[in-house]
Structure 1
Amino acid sequence: MKVLVLGGSGYLGRALLTHIDELDCAIDVVVRSEAGARKVKTASARAGVFDTLDVTGRAYDHIINLVADCGRGDILLSDVVRANLIYPLALVETLAFGAVLNVSTALPELYSNYSLSKRMLERSLVRVAARKDARVLNVQVHNMYGPGSDETNLVTSLISRMRGSKPIMLSSCTNSRDFVYIDDVVGALSALCFRIDRIAQLSTVQVGSGLPVRLRALVEKLQAKIGTSSEIVYGARRDNIHEMPVLAADLTAIAATGWKPAWSLDAGLDATIRSLKT
């Protein structure tokens, strides 16, 4: 099996590449900078590293799209759309492929510029795959966390601020989210690659724990594990009007591959906390 990974220098990409020896396939990775190439080679010496022009027109069994610009700060919607929609779409349209595994988000479309751009790509890839008579799986990943994530990640940010006894300004945190450990996401992508014939040709597949947790309960759980003296202020930040009261993964589709999450929330949080002590 020959696989092309887009966005392989990011958090999930590097985690996937560290498992390359367990996967019976050849993996090429597209990078757009020397820094990205170094990150890929650090994660896996076996992966082929190419720039966009090097892979244009090639054929692959699977393309895994992990490109993700979360659009934080003052970044414009047009810039987020260029990163998350135009760039991967323009590349995929030049390639021959059997399937695209497009890693997306479970957040509501209007939640953020990021989620809007990801939904636009989901719909666009369905049209491209239909024209090429190929498969497309839009893999909607819930709140991913674990060792190696940076402080834009909610869990990592909370742990870091609690360990530094820094004040934490939060929304009301009355809503519930589904948190999924990084190793489980890697396992899900592997299962989808090798058992893709068990999934309908044009499908949305959700990846998560299937067990939502109230955000305030998550914060309190981390408080107890870390023993922090941080001041935590609920309601200091405005709630997102597009936030859903409960957001949890529907694992029905991915269950056809035999995959199920292996990490409990407590075990995943403990592993993440340990990783941040070094």
Structure 2
Amino acid sequence: MKKCFLVTGATGFLGSHVVKKLVAEGQNVVLLKRSFSNISRLASVMKNVKSYDIDKLDDFAQVFDDQHIDVIIHTATCYGRQGEAVEQIYDVNLHFPLKLLELALRFNTDTFFNTDTILSKYLNWYALSKKQFSEIGQQFAGQGKINFIDAKLEHMYGEDDANTKFVTYVIEKLQENIDELKLTKGEQCRDFIYVDDVVEAYWKILCNQNEDKKYQQYEVGTGKAVSIKELVTLAKSITKSQTRLAFGAVPYRENEIMDSKANIESLQKLGWQPRMDLEAGIRKIVGAGK
């Protein structure tokens, strides 16, 4: 299978791992980035890909005119954690991918692979905007216009992730040996999946596609839930930190999800299994930070 893949969010955490996987598999890769994007995560493969600066493009159609795009892999996202306005969140999570989806229909792109979230759409603007785009994709696929794959991610983590992400933040603070780390009670359970396992799941899904134009949904996680308290306690043990864990110092957020784990039966049927357990994943992050 050799195809031309267009990747959004390519300089980000997940996107960069996806790009490197595609390059390793000998695929043609086109990426979208901003002219001022930090490309350090892609330093080893930039010579093997074609890139476009979206802030300098007059029309996204140019990307599709220059080469036939077989598959779009959409990983770009805005979580709203940096104080972005709702309009900014929607620009990234809804308006931007919708432009690409309509171009995909116009230029006969076979597949749109969307990175969605497992979170309830009522949790925040990020989750709502992601769900709304997924519903649009499902509508187009239901009309037989495109193969739309919806990958609903659980809690992804890994080395080189942003320190605004929970696992990275906790490990960083523990390694700094701050006096006290204020946390919720930590009773909420999450399905933590290592980024390499996510990328392998994506690739396994892509390798099992046919020419049908339909909507497909996959939950991407390990299928196992671990409490926040257990994760943080494990991270403290691995880092040998002296930081005091202040569980209960922070209230649960409104509409907090107390238990979440992926149903991975559909991925298992494709022959995929997660390989990295939580302890090994945390040790890898800690080792990378030394």
> Which range, TM-score by smaller chain?
over 0.9
| Contact 1:174–1:214, Cα closer than 8 Å, also in 2 | yes
Greater CA drift, 194-203 or 74-83:
194-203
Match of 2:145 in 1: 133
Structure 1 residue 35 and structure 2 residue 37: aligned?
yes
1:200 Cα deviation after fit: 8.8
Match of 1:123 in 2: 135
Match of 2:8 in 1: 6
User: Percent identical across equivalent pairs?
Assistant: 23
Measure the CA separation in 1 of the matches of 2:213 and 2:253: 34
Of the three residues 44, 47, 54, the one matched with 1:45 is: 47
Q: What do residues 102-140 of structure 1 show as CA deviations (whole Å, max 9, x unaligned)?
A: 011111212222111111111111223344621111101
Match of 1:269 in 2: 282
Q: What do residues 212-235 of structure 1 show as CA deviations (whole Å, max 9, x unaligned)?
A: 101101111111111111122222
Task: Give the unaligned 5+ runs of structure 2.
Answer: 55-59
Task: Give the unaligned 5+ runs of structure 1.
Answer: none
Please give the secondary structure, in 2, of the residue aligned with 1:35: coil
- Cα 1:169–1:73 shift into 2, 3 Å: farther
Structure 1 residue 143 and structure 2 residue 151: aligned?
no
Please give the secondary structure, in 2, of the residue aligned with 1:205: strand
1:61 Cα deviation after fit: 1.9
1:45-194 equivalences under 5 Å are 45-52=47-54, 53=60, 54-56=62-64, 59-95=68-104, 96-131=108-143, 133-166=145-178, 167-194=180-207
Measure the CA separation in 2 of the matches of 1:116 and 1:41: 34
| Contact 2:146–2:213, Cα closer than 8 Å, also in 1 | no
Measure the CA separation in 2 of the matches of 1:199 and 1:170: 47
Match of 1:233 in 2: 246
Whichever residue aligns with residue 15 of structure 1, its letter is H
1:14 Cα deviation after fit: 1.0
Measure the CA separation in 2 of the matches of 1:15 and 1:215: 25
Of the three residues 213, 221, 224, the one matched with 2:234 is: 221
Of the three residues 198, 208, 218, the one matched with 1:205 is: 218
Per the normalisation by structure 1, the TM-score is 0.92
Measure the CA separation in 2 of the matches of 1:32 and 1:207: 28
Count residues in correspondence: 277
1:73 Cα deviation after fit: 3.7
1:192 Cα deviation after fit: 1.3
Runs of at least 4 residues off by over 6 Å: none
1:37 Cα deviation after fit: 5.6
- Cα 1:273–1:41 shift into 2, 3 Å: closer
Please give the secondary structure, in 2, of the residue aligned with 1:193: helix
Measure the CA separation in 2 of the matches of 1:117 and 1:240: 19
Cα RMSD, aligned residues only: 2.1
- Cα 1:261–1:79 shift into 2, 3 Å: same
Q: What do residues 138-168 of structure 1 show as CA deviations (whole Å, max 9, x unaligned)?
A: 1011111111112011111111100111131
Please give the secondary structure, in 1, of the residue aligned with 2:163: coil
Measure the CA separation in 2 of the matches of 1:198 and 1:185: 24
Greater CA drift, 12-21 or 219-228:
12-21
